[in-house]
Amino acid sequence: MAEKKLETPKKLSMDWGIELPPKKRAIIKARELGTGYQGTIIGCSHCTFLAAVNALESEGIKLISEDIKDKLFTGLMGLTGGAGNSAIGTCGAVNGASFVISLATNVTMEENKKDIDSRWLAYYNVKHYITDRFMKKWGAITCREIQIKNFGRAYDSRRPERSKELFQIAAEKGCRNPYECTIGTAAGWAVEGVWEILNQTPEEREKLKEEIMRHQASDRKYH
Amino acid sequence: MDEEEKERWKKNIKIAHEIAKDKERKERLIKKAYEIGGKYVTTYWGCAQSTFLAIVDTLRTEGIEILTKEDEEKMFPAFVGLAGGTGNIGVGSCGGLVGSGFCVSLVANRSQGVDQKVQESNINHRWISFDAVYKYPVKRYLEKYNGLSCRAVTWARFGKHWDSWNPSAKEEFGREERERGCILDTAGYPCTIPRAAAWAVEDIIELLVKPITLEQVVEEHDLR
């Protein structure tokens, strides 16, 4: 079903010369890049991050410099496959996508220090745009549980024979396409989230924070 | 990776060798990580960003600069949303693991000149950071907390887990943390952030002295 949703606007665009809205174009681009990177760079965390950031750049949105991008890329690599490819922790695609959402939310050191409520904006955005969607689609955000949902089995990729089995079952299932791939999906969600976050006015951002804090007021009690 | 950064890593490796040989200096550095980590708990109130900063800033006190101050500030916003098991939902990796795993991965890669281009030229490089993160923060967490998630950590420490998006549960969590001294007595009762930072600082020194190489990972993971 998801395939049709993406295929149709792209086909219309190509066949009939209909201009796609830039947000839609960026989401499709992120899905395609994420899926492609898994074949060339390999690793859910850094591939998701790179796909989202590069897709945004293709529409003129530059979140970070090339140098910072490269450094974040190398730091994220080790968080692949549930951290160190252990499968136990958070799925790397969730990490990569959440990093991008959090970057766009832009709670700086200064803001975080001056106003501790501000950190809830990043929590909210990551939850709203990434983890809630993972929970809905996969019922989990951890690597092992997502594998179970995707393949009916999970593999310890630290064992060479199991790692090969995982790649094999993914190939057999044919999920490395922009409509099913976990990396591509997460990158697309990150782009969608960033687009909406960057379109907020400062007043809307402040209002959102106030709404979150109205609910989370108890957080201040022990700080 | 530019020449300036390559030079910085050479210097970092040299200092790490000196620290590794000097027990007192090493102990001082680890103690510093507990202090800075503890201080950041009450400055930033988020495990991922506080752990990340504590590691980078502690290493800098002995001259090891894994990131410049400017880069550190630019990267900081990326970590905030990863706190509390990702978006504060508890079920994902502890933010302390994310912050420390990130720093360990960064060091494992960049100290050996591995950046995106190098990874693209030979995809086996990725296993260097996978193994470093597994060998250091992941194993430390499994041993101490029997898991990697925020939920596993609070379960091991308190025998309880709280949903931080539930205001009354969050309040109770804050109260218990404070009562145990996690916030007011960070040296006497180190909580997860300073502990993760101290582990990572110690591990990064070892990693700079004894790097995980491409040859090792190719052999170990049957990548030929």
Question: pLDDT (tens digit, 9 = 90+) per residue, A89-112?
Answer: 999 999 999 999 999 999 999 999
- Which residue is associated with the tokens 């000097």? B22
Would you place residue A3 in the very low, low, confident or very high pLDDT band (cuts 50, 70, 90)? very low
Residue range A74-85: mean pLDDT, rounded: 97
Tokens of B198: 């101290």
Is A83's pLDDT higher than 50? yes
Our CA-based measurement puts residue A42 at a distance from the nearest CA of chain B, in whole angstroms, of 7
Residue range A207-215: mean pLDDT, rounded: 93
Is A4's pLDDT higher than 60? no
B126 — contact with chain A (CB < 8 Å)? yes
Whole-number Å distance between alpha carbons of A196 and A193: 5
Q: Which amino acid is at B33?
A: A
* Chain B hits for A123, Cβ within 8 Å: 80-81, 83-84, 87-88
| Helix axis angle, A22-40 to A44-58, nearest 10° | 140
Across all residues in chain A, what is the average pLDDT?
91
Q: What is the pLDDT of residue B217?
A: 96
B67 — contact with chain A (CB < 8 Å)? yes
Nearest-CB residue to B138 (from A76, A83, A120): A83
- Which residue is associated with the tokens 């209909």? A18
Q: How does pLDDT run across A143-193, given as a tens digit for each residue?
A: 999 999 999 999 999 999 999 999 999 988 887 888 888 999 999 999 999
Q: What is the pLDDT of residue A175?
A: 78
Q: pTM for the complete prediction? A: 0.95
Whole-number Å distance between alpha carbons of A23 and B176: 45
CB A93 within 8 A of CB A48: yes
Q: Over its length of 224 residues, how does chain B's per-residue pLDDT go in tens digits? A: 999 999 999 999 999 999 999 999 999 999 999 999 999 988 999 999 999 999 999 999 999 999 999 999 999 999 999 999 999 999 999 999 999 999 999 999 999 999 999 999 999 999 999 999 999 999 999 999 999 999 999 999 999 999 999 999 998 998 888 888 777 776 677 789 999 999 999 999 999 999 999 999 999 999 98
Q: What is the pLDDT of residue A140?
A: 97
Q: What value of ipTM does the predicted structure carry?
A: 0.96
A221 — contact with chain B (CB < 8 Å)? yes
* Chain A hits for B44, Cβ within 8 Å: 109, 112-113, 116, 119
CB B154 within 8 A of CB B162: yes
Contact residues, A window 174-213, toward B, CB-based 8 Å cutoff: none
Nearest-CB residue to B80 (from A71, A83, A112): A112
Backbone dihedral angles phi then psi of residue B33, each to the nearest 5 degrees: -65, -40
Q: What is the pLDDT of residue A96?
A: 98
Is A28's pLDDT higher than 80? yes
- For Cα atoms B217, A38, A168, give the angle at the middle one, nearest 5 degrees: 75
Our CA-based measurement puts residue B103 at a distance from the nearest CA of chain A, in whole angstroms, of 6
Nearest-CB residue to A68 (from B74, B104, B108): B74
Q: What is the pLDDT of residue B174?
A: 86
| Residues B116, A217: C-beta atoms closer than 8 Å | no
Alpha helices in B83-213 (DSSP H): 95-110, 116-121, 126-133, 139-145, 150-158, 167-180, 192-209
Q: What is the pLDDT of residue A70?
A: 97
